[in-house]
Amino acid sequence: SSGLKGVDFHELTFYYMMKPMGKRDFTSQSTTESGAKETMHWLPID
């Protein structure tokens, strides 16, 4: 159980424009507070 039930809050997220450096395989072991796995995806803007 998260201690945030019934609490209003905002999420602040930063996005960065990056030049590809060849390899586009991202690895992350990150999870949310509830245990859900977070993923990263390369999104081309062209």
Model confidence pLDDT, tens digit, residues 14-40: 877 777 677 666 677 888 888 888 877
Q: Does residue 7 carry a pLDDT above 80?
A: yes
Angle at 36 between CA 42 and CA 12, to 5 degrees: 65
Residue of higher predicted confidence among 25 and 9: 9
Task: Kindly report the pTM of this predicted structure.
Answer: 0.34
Report whether 26 contacts 42 (CB < 8 A): yes
